Amino acid sequence: MNNKILESFQINDLIKLKSRIVMSAMTRGFATDHRANNQIKDYYERRAKDGVGLILTEGVVIHHTADGYNNVPHIESIEQAESWIPTIKAIQKWDTKIFCQLWHCGRISHSDYTGGTPPVSSTNIPASGINRQNNKEFGVPVALSSTGIQQVHNYYLEAAEKAIKVGFDGIELHLGHGYLADQFLDARINDRNDQYGGSIENRCRFSLELVEKVMNQHSASQVAVRISPAREMGGAYDWPDLDEMLNYFIPKLWKLGVRVLDVSCARADYFTTSGRIIRLVRPMWPGVLIGGASLSVEQANKEIEDQHLDLVTWGQYILANSDFVSKIKSNEKWTPFDRSMLSELY
Ligand SMILES: Cc1cc2nc3c(=O)[nH]c(=O)nc-3n(C[C@H](O)[C@H](O)[C@H](O)COP(=O)(O)O)c2cc1C
C-alpha cells in the first residue's frame, strides 16, 4: 500500500514534518503542580521516537482562572513553561515537532479550579450537567466585560509568548469543544447583546480578535487553530447557522494569516461530523488542513489522496499504542483504546 501518511510533509518554509501523522491534543491529568514532568516527557517521547510527525500537547491552561480540570498543566508562570523544556528537547531530538495547545475552559469549570473566583464565559448561565472532575454542578459563570475579554486575550498572548520562548515549535489555539472561545461562537450559549454577541460577525469577534493579536506577535509557521463546528458531546449538534458561520469565519482566519487549521469533532464519528465540515472548509482553505478521528490507515490515506486532509490526527489509538507508527509499518493491528488506559501514562 502507498502509505501517504508516512510521507514527510512541508507545512511551510520553516517546518517539515517527518510524517503526516499528528498526535491529537489529549488531556491526561498527570501534571501535578500544573507542570510537565519526566513521566509526561517519556510518554510523548515514545510517540516521537516511533515516528509521529507532529505532537499537539494536551490542553495547557493559559491562566489559573482558565482551568477546569484536575492536574492539568498551566502556562501562566515562566517556571510552568520551563517545565516543558525537557519534553520539548526529547521530542525535537527525534525530529518531531511539538505545538503547545493553549486552553481556556470558560464555564466548563468550577471555582474549585479557578482559585476560588467564578469561572468566566460569554454568558452568566452555567453549563448544564455535572462536572465529572469534581462531581459538582458546573460553576455559575460571570459574563466577561469588554475589558475582561481584552484581559483574557492578554493571558493567551502571554502564554503564547512563554511557549515559544521555551522552545515549542508553535502553539495551537483551542477554539473548540464548547470551551471559552466556543462559548462565544455558539448562539445557543452566547446570549450577549454587545459587540461580542448576536450576529455571526459579533460571535466570531472574540476568536478573530484573539487570532489577530496572536498573528501580530508570531509567524504563520508557529500558529495552528483548532475549531469544532460539528462536535458531538452528549448529543449531536453543529454550530447553528453552520454554512454562514464557516463562510465568514474560515476566510477571516486565512486573511489574518493563519495557515494551519485543525478541524475536530471531539470524539464523534469523523465522516458524519468533522469529515463533513472538512469537505465544506477545503474549498475555502488553501492552507494546511488537519483532521481525523480514529480513521483506519486506508481511510487516512484516502482522505489525503482525495485532498481533503494534509495531516491526519489520531488521539485514542496513539494513546493506546506507543508504537502506533511501527504497527502501521509492520501491518499490525492497533490495540483498541480502553478507558482504563487513562489511569496510566505509557
Ligand atoms: C483522553 C482524551 C483527552 C482529550 N483532551 C483533549 C484536549 O485537551 N484538547 C483537545 O483539543 N481535544 C482533546 N481530546 C479530543 C482529541 O484531541 C481528539 O479530537 C478525539 O479523541 C478524536 O480523535 P480519536 O478518535 O482519534 O481519539 C481528548 C480526547 C481524549 C480521548
Residue 170, C-alpha cell as written in the block: 508553535
Q: Is 237 considered catalytic here?
A: no
pLDDT at 1 over 70: no
pLDDT band at 226 (very low <50, low <70, confident <90, very high): very high
| Three-class secondary structure of residue 103 per DSSP | strand
Question: Is the distance from CB of 174 to CB of 181 less than 8 angstroms?
Answer: yes
Which residue bears the cell 500544573? 34
Residue 165, C-alpha cell as written in the block: 520562548
pLDDT at 237 over 80: no
pLDDT band at 2 (very low <50, low <70, confident <90, very high): confident
Q: What's the mean pLDDT in 137-153?
A: 97
Q: What's the mean pLDDT in 140-154?
A: 98
pLDDT band at 296 (very low <50, low <70, confident <90, very high): very high
Ligand 1 close to Cβ of residue 321 (< 6 A)? no
Residue 179, C-alpha cell as written in the block: 470551551
CA–CA separation, 323 vs 317, rounded Å?
A: 10
82 Cα–ligand 1 center, Å: 24
Q: What's the mean pLDDT in 205-217?
A: 98
Ligand 1 close to Cβ of residue 26 (< 6 A)? yes
Q: Which of 70, 82, 148, 73 is nearest to 110 (CA)?
A: 70
pLDDT band at 235 (very low <50, low <70, confident <90, very high): low
Question: Is the distance from CB of 178 to CB of 123 less than 8 angstroms?
Answer: no
pLDDT at 212 over 80: yes
Contacts of 174 (CB under 8 A, 6+ apart): 25, 59, 101, 102, 103, 104, 181, 226
273 Cα–ligand 1 center, Å: 15
pLDDT of residue 272: 84
pLDDT of residue 141: 97
Residues in the chain: 346
pLDDT of residue 267: 75
pLDDT at 94 over 80: yes
Which residue bears the cell 471531539? 266
pLDDT of residue 343: 96
131 Cα–ligand 1 center, Å: 17
Total domains in the chain come to: 1
CA–CA separation, 223 vs 157, rounded Å?
A: 12
Ligand 1 close to Cβ of residue 266 (< 6 A)? yes
Cα three-residue angle 184-77-118, rounded to 5 degrees: 40
Contacts of 154 (CB under 8 A, 6+ apart): none
Query: pLDDT tens-digit profile of 264-282?
Result: 987 778 988 888 899 999 9
Which residue bears the cell 510533509? 9
Amino acid at 203: R
pTM of the predicted structure, to 2 decimals: 0.97
pLDDT of residue 11: 93
Q: How many CB atoms lie within 10 A of CB 189?
A: 20
pLDDT band at 234 (very low <50, low <70, confident <90, very high): low
pLDDT of residue 118: 97
Question: Is the distance from CB of 26 to CB of 315 less than 8 angstroms?
Answer: yes
Ligand 1 close to Cβ of residue 25 (< 6 A)? yes
Cα three-residue angle 45-318-183, rounded to 5 degrees: 100
CATH number of the domain to which 235 belongs: 3.20.20.70
pLDDT at 100 over 90: yes
Is beta strand 223-227 parallel, antiparallel or unpaired with respect to 260-263?
parallel
pLDDT at 238 over 80: no
User: 236 forms bridges with which residues in the sheet?
Assistant: 232
Calculate the CA 159 to chain-centre distance: 15
Residue 284, C-alpha cell as written in the block: 475555502
pLDDT at 132 over 90: no
Ligand 1 close to Cβ of residue 264 (< 6 A)? yes
Mutate-to-test residue for ligand 1 from 23, 27, 67, 312, highest number of ligand atoms within 8 A of CB: 27
CA–CA separation, 55 vs 23, rounded Å?
A: 5
Expressed as residue numbers, the domain containing 208 is 4-343
Which residue bears the cell 459579533? 202
141 Cα–ligand 1 center, Å: 25
Question: Is the distance from CB of 221 to CB of 13 less than 8 angstroms?
Answer: yes
298 Cα–ligand 1 center, Å: 21
Per annotation, catalytic residue among 155, 156, 179, 196: 179
Ligand 1 close to Cβ of residue 293 (< 6 A)? yes
Residue nearest to atom 3 of ligand 1 (CA): 26
Of 26-30, 63-67, 162-166, 272-276, the range with the lowest mean pLDDT is 272-276
Ligand 1 close to Cβ of residue 308 (< 6 A)? no
